Amino acid sequence: MYTGKVRVPIIKDPPLFSRIGEVVTNGFSRNLALRGERLVEQDEDKLKKLAVTLPLSGRDFHQASLAGSDLRKADLRFANLSDAYLADANLSEANLNEADLSDVILEKTNLSGADLSSARNLTQGQLDKACGTDAKLPPGVTLKPCQ
């Protein structure tokens, strides 16, 4: 018999990555707003040595607001980013292969060195608002350099 009560685990001050994983895996991505967050290593020298900063492969970021967030070198393969707001985000060197980019807002998003070669539902219209160099893109689309 359903009593209307739901047990929710209490997480006492987890690191940011744990909170992201918890929010996303519990299906609350519509409420996820991490505007302007630096989600990567603070030390630039250490950051350069890392192959991946955030292992977020397969996560659900549908309608998430990540505007202005630093997601450099994030592993977003197979992630659902449909309808996400990524304006002014830094996705340089991120892996977005097989990620669903339907209706993603990429206005002023830095995609330098990002791998989008097999990203799904990526359009030239989205890329016209983004920028970057040395990005791996699907055939037939282009990306202008950042100013």
CA atoms of 36 and 26, how far apart (whole Å): 23
Instruction: Using the structure block, give the residue that is written with the tokens 């918890």.
Output: 22
CA atoms of 127 and 42, how far apart (whole Å): 28
What is the pTM (predicted TM-score) of this model? 0.72
CA atoms of 15 and 130, how far apart (whole Å): 30
User: Tokens standing for 145?
Assistant: 């350099």
Domain 32-147: assigned CATH number: 2.160.20.80
Q: Output the tens digit of pLDDT for each of the chain's 147 residues.
A: 434 443 433 333 334 444 444 444 344 344 566 665 566 657 677 667 666 677 889 999 999 999 999 899 999 999 999 999 999 999 999 999 999 999 999 999 999 999 999 999 999 999 999 999 999 999 999 999 998
Domain ranges within the chain, ordered by starting residue: 32-147
